Structure 1
Amino acid sequence: MRNFKQAILLLIMLWSNTLLAQHIEVLQQGNPTSIRGLSVVNNQVAWISGSKGNIAITTDGGKSWKWQQIKGFEKSDFRDIEAFSAKEAIIMSSGTPALIMKTIDGGINWKVNYQNADTSYFLDAMDFDSPKHGFVMGDPINGKFLLMETKNGGDTWTLCTGPDAVKNQAAFAASGTCLRINGIFAIATGGPVAALLTQKDKQWTKISVPITHGKSTQGAFSIAVGKNQLIIVGGDYQKNKRRDSTACYSFDKGKTWQLSTTFPSGYQSGAEYVKKNIFLSTGTAGSNITTDGGKNWVKIEDTSYNVCRKAKHGNLVLLAGDKGKIGVLKF
């Protein structure tokens, strides 16, 4: 019995030391923009997008950033960005007008490839499964979520059939991660219902998830896709310290969901797969790590961030938030 207790104690100590080794370092802050768009291409190149028309790029792993406020779009709120290199990136603006813009010269010039002044159009998120193919989704119009597809790298966009929505159901333009099309085609929603809307063979399926919901400020905010598991995080952004029912996980590709045993520190707006069974989540209530695929979460940082993303080709993990704050996850 004594040896068993010693072994358990050793495992707990090793797990605690592993978590303590994971922390977030602030790279820069102080710019007058709220960042919600983040795309990490590799260990050197990453792009961010934010309010007041602000864009930034790093080519040295986040050590330095080149900022710009896109001329003529100083009032645009670029809630999501998808980047493919140091030269090519696509940005999406929420609000009116709805905008999708693209650069192929590192941000020197931006071309408007989609614009819609209809106030019912509110874009929430964008995701690509290749440099040519991607989707943008938005809040429901006439009972269906807005969904647009590109097959030519964002040069043109075509309306396609989105999933059905109940009254007041919506997705959140919080981190660009309520839509995922890599490994799963899914949309996380909130409001009166917290649900995962998945598509297969052009058919949509609605799966309820056990995340706080019922009010317009509550629901599922972000999906993260691992090797063998999915996680969803969210909560209530108006009561960001509320911890119960802020995370759940699935080990069967989203067919069934279980609430986490221990939850993140409160409302979480973004989540990302890191490696093995490790996921990172972040929000105004701080940042959290799970090392067991979403079952248990431990807070590693008090600072507020809006989004966290890992490199598509590499292991760099960055975070971004209000007042131009950018951080990096360290192991």
Structure 2
Amino acid sequence: MSIILIALTTLIGVGAVPAAAGPGDPGWRPTTTGSTARFRGLAPVSSSVAWVAGSAGTILRTVNGGRTWVPAGPADAAGLEFRDIEAFDARHAVALTIGPGAESRIYTTADGGRTWSRTFQNEDEAAFYDCMTFWDRRHGLALSDPVSGKFRILATHDGGRSWSVLPPTGMPPALDGEFAFAASGTCLVSTAGTRHSPDRAFFATGGGPVSRVFSSGDLGHTWQVTETPIPSGPSAGIYGLAFRDAHHGLAVGGDHTVPAAAPAGAAVSRDARTWSVATTPPGEYRSGVAWSGRSAVAVGPTGSDVSYDGGSTWRRFDTGSFDAVACVARACWASGEQGRVARLTRPL
């Protein structure tokens, strides 16, 4: 979200003893970006093509698996914070900046980042946009923290070239203090390509008395909501969400102010309606999570964890800092502070 994440810094806790990596576990292979930006927006397209977006208006693109990265950000966004980017190929991408009022913007490019069009600029001082998702090249949504007591949804049907605010009538009321976290571009996700429910979307919250997951099956027009067992509070809740299909979901989070302690910071759902705490969670704050086949990987400022059983049990395999993770075609990428971008050394 929210304003607390504009100035979010990495706080590394002490006293945590991560589980040792197993002999068959993957590792991260760093790439050299030449940047010191913090990349919370991550959009891999393949094992070769990926985009990252972050602080100081920075967007980078690679077309050779991370061997080289080329600056590709809009010139008028130098002072803004990119927190999400969605890419369709090496040329087409949509990027979101966060902040109150006009600082929340959406840009699109169709030429690999050489030129950008500003296709949305928030004019409502009460709105604060956090994240985006797309089902395909045309249909996508963006999420704002509550306005007049309800989360606000933007929709596009032309690949991000135009956006409209959806009516709030289908959105349940927000709880006192509830918002979404703009930590990894995964507070709002969708299920593209699912045979029976290709148009489902989900977003996750914190900040209030309980953390919750909202779901929609009609391209964001109406939503249902369910509580989760991940603890919530002023700086706590669900930071990252991932769905393998319309039923199997993962949620990770915790409290970024105490990153080394999150005993109930990961939950799993097998029906998209009920959530249970992971049998063996990472145990620390995690901001991003992604499926790779039936396995999954989670990242945060104190390390990375892998699950081979659908999110029930997690095992630490790295202690470096990352904010976001995404997998495509079994290739997993991660990004974070000080220009860090890496790829997994092997498919999960």
Same fold (TM over 0.5): yes
What percent identity do the matched residue pairs reach?
31
Equivalent in the alignment of 2:184? 175
TM-score, normalised via structure 1 length = 0.90
Q: Which residue of 2 aligns with 1:155?
A: 161
Correspondence for 2:14: none
CA contact 1:168–1:216 (8 Å) conserved in 2 = yes
1:62 equivalent to 2:66? Answer yes
Residue 202 of structure 2 aligns with an amino acid whose one-letter code is: A
Q: In the alignment, which of 120, 124, 131 is matched to residue 118 of structure 1?
A: 124
Deviations 1:188-220 (A, max 9, x none): 10012200111235432111111021x211001
- In 2, the alpha carbon distance for the partners of 1:74 and 1:165 equals 33
Alpha-carbon distance in structure 2 between the residues aligned to 1:206 and 1:155: 29
Please report the RMSD computed on the Cα atoms of aligned residues, expressed in angstroms: 1.6
- Secondary structure of the equivalent of 2:23? helix
Cross-structure match for 1:78: 82
Classify 1:146/1:242 alpha carbon distance in 2 versus 1 (closer, same or farther; 3 Å). Answer: same
Q: Tell me, yes or no, if the aligned pair for 2:255 and 2:262 is still in contact at 8 Å.
A: no
Residue 292 of structure 1 pairs with residue 309 of structure 2? yes
Shift of 1:29: 5.5
Instruction: Give runs of aligned pairs for residues 312-331 of structure 1, distance below 5 A.
Output: 314-331=329-346
Aligned counterparts of 1:133 and 1:61: Cα–Cα separation in 2? 27
Deviations 1:203-256 (Å, cap 9, x if unpaired)?
32111111021x21100111111256211100001000013110011112x211
Q: Provide the residue aligned with 2:229 in structure 1.
A: 210
Corresponding position of 1:44:
48
* Structure 1 residue 69: Cα displacement: 4.9
Match of 1:305 in 2: 322
SS of 1:271's equivalent in the other structure is strand
Per the alignment, residue 4 of structure 1 pairs with none
More strand by share: 1
Q: How many residues align?
A: 310
Is the alpha carbon distance of 1:57 and 1:23 closer, same or farther for their aligned partners in structure 2, counting shifts above 3 Å? Answer: same
Structure 2: which 5+ residue stretches go unaligned? 1-20, 195-199
Q: Distance in 2 between matches of 1:102 and 1:187?
A: 22
Structure 1 unaligned segments of length 5 or more: list them. Answer: 1-14
> Could you tell me which amino acid in structure 2 is paired with residue 309 of structure 1?
A
| Partner in structure 2 of residue 145 of structure 1 | 151
Partner amino acid for 2:342?
G
Aligned partner of 2:140 in structure 1 is 134
Kept in 2, the 8 Å contact 1:223–1:233? The answer is yes
Checking the alignment, whether the CA contact within 8 Å between 2:298 and 2:304 is kept in structure 1 is yes
